[in-house]
């Protein structure tokens, strides 16, 4: 009987270790160091294994553990009231629209002194901030890729702060251009994403860091899951965000002894002004097609490139327009006495898929969930005798497949 018990037992223990360990990491890692977290992980696993010996059902037991974890996490938050906003200054980049614009309004309404940068002081976003915010908000025209503009913004901020430091620096400005396969992505797009999303953020951070250190404040970097997960057709954007993530984590370790908290926020998919603009997508696609070499365009085909554009456009149109999960997280990162090092703002099924599932299953689900390509590259179609939809051109059985699409 013992031989029949051993195999299921170890399978069971491995599965329980995976899920309970992942839950403990999710719940406790922001609050504990590596040693106590590992002890909690192993202790919870052994506890579940022992309780299983008393014939407690596994599913109710896991639900109970999850409920206890949520209660614990909420109790910690409830014991520590948020820090007051009065007298605290926050500098936010990229406030023309999207997260930056919404965050500037919320932080101003809470009583923070907000320095909001925009690319265009005469634009709709800047005018909306002037109209809806208090006199505490200061608008600054800054292109974060231009060092002289960053330095001028620093001087203007210092002039208003006087002898005070800067409580919060929110690096929000970012760009995503010409979505497509890595081979099709123009080098200018790789450079542009790196200049804005990485080098621009590094430039602003290094410039304003002395003010943040003076206040023992916070640096909040708005990144993306694309910097951690290999989303198809986001090589340029994802690479820049991956560089930003590593920079942020390194900075977090280096500034710990200064009393400065460094936080990464990874929003899920949201629809911003540019992503809901059909003309924007058409212009991006046109520029990409014009920039491709004749050889690449022949190998992939214009229909392949255009389908990618259509898929991303459709994906963005289904994305949420409610920025409140991201804005709430920014406020929490700036106001919590014990902010987490990383926040995932909004529901993200892809985060669970990437973190917990095997690679083969992860790849399959990612293709079905994120980018459902139906058009194959032209060269592969010719080689295999397939039409644009991946079907054999001389067989009529493709009608059913095309009807299902």
DSSP codes joined into one string, 292-347: S-HHHHHHH-HHHHHHHHHHHHHHHHTSB---HHHHHHHHHHHH-SS--SEEEES-
Q: Is the pLDDT of residue 90 over 90?
A: yes
Active site residues: 237
Least confident of 47-51, 185-189, 326-330: 47-51
Q: Is the pLDDT of residue 180 over 60?
A: yes
The whole-number pLDDT of residue 105 equals: 97
Q: Report the pLDDT averaged over residues 182-192.
A: 93
The whole-number pLDDT of residue 365 equals: 67
- What pTM, to 2 d.p., does this model score? 0.76
Q: Report the pLDDT averaged over residues 339-368.
A: 71
The whole-number pLDDT of residue 354 equals: 62
Of the two residues 29 and 124, the one the predictor is more confident about is 124
Q: Using CA atoms, how far apart are residues 2 and 5, in angstroms rounded to an integer?
A: 5
Q: Using CA atoms, how far apart are residues 22 and 19, in angstroms rounded to an integer?
A: 5
pLDDT in tens, 8-62: 555 665 666 666 566 555 544 444 444 444 555 556 555 655 555 555 555 565 5
For the chain, domains (ranges, CATH) are 2-79 (no CATH), 89-354 (3.40.50.720), 374-405 (no CATH)
Q: Using CA atoms, how far apart are residues 13 and 11, in angstroms rounded to an integer?
A: 5
Q: Report the pLDDT averaged over residues 131-151.
A: 97
Of all residues in the chain, the percent with pLDDT exceeding 90 is 48
């Amino acid at each position: 009987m013992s031989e029949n018990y051993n195999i299921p037992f170890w399978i069971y223990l491995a599965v329980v270790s995976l899920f309970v360990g992942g839950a403990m990491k999710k719940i406790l890692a922001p609050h504990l160091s590596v040693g106590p977290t590992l002890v909690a992980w192993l202790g919870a696993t052994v506890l579940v294994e022992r309780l299983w010996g008393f014939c407690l059902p596994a599913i109710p037991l896991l639900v109970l553990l999850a409920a206890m974890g949520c209660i614990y996490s909420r109790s910690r938050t409830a014991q520590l009231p948020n820090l007051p906003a009065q007298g605290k200054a926050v500098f936010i980049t990229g406030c023309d629209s999207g997260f930056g614009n919404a965050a500037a309004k919320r932080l101003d309404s809470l009583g923070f002194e907000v320095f909001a940068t925009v690319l265009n002081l005469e634009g709709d976003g800047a005018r909306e901030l002037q109209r809806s915010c208090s006199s505490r908000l200061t608008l600054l025209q800054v292109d974060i890729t231009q060092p002289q503009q960053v330095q001028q913004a620093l001087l203007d901020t210092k002039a208003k702060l006087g002898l005070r430091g800067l409580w919060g620096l929110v690096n929000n400005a970012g760009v995503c251009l010409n979505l497509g396969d890595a081979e099709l992505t123009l080098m200018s797009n790789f450079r542009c994403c790196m200049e804005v999303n990485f080098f621009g953020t590094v430039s602003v951070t290094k410039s304003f860091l002395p003010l943040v250190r003076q206040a023992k404040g916070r640096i909040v970097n708005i990144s993306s899951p694309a910097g951690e997960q290999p989303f198809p057709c986001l090589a340029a954007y994802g690479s820049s965000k991956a560089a930003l993530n590593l920079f942020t984590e390194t900075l977090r370790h280096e500034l710990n002894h200064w009393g400065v908290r460094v936080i990464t926020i990874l929003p899920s998919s949201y629809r911003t002004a540019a992503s809901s603009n059909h003309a924007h997508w058409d212009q991006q696609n046109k520029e990409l097609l014009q920039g491709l070499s004749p050889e690449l365009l022949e190998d992939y085909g214009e229909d392949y490139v255009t389908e990618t554009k259509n898929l991303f456009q459709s994906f963005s149109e289904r994305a949420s327009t409610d920025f409140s999960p991201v804005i709430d997280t920014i406020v929490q990162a700036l106001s919590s006495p014990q902010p987490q090092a990383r926040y995932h703002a909004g529901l993200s099924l892809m985060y669970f898929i990437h973190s917990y599932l095997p690679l083969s299953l992860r790849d399959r689900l990612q293709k079905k969930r994120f980018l459902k390509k139906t058009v194959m590259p032209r060269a592969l179609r010719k080689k295999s005798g397939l039409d644009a939809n991946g079907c054999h051109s001389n067989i009529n059985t493709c009608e059913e497949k095309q009807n299902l699409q």
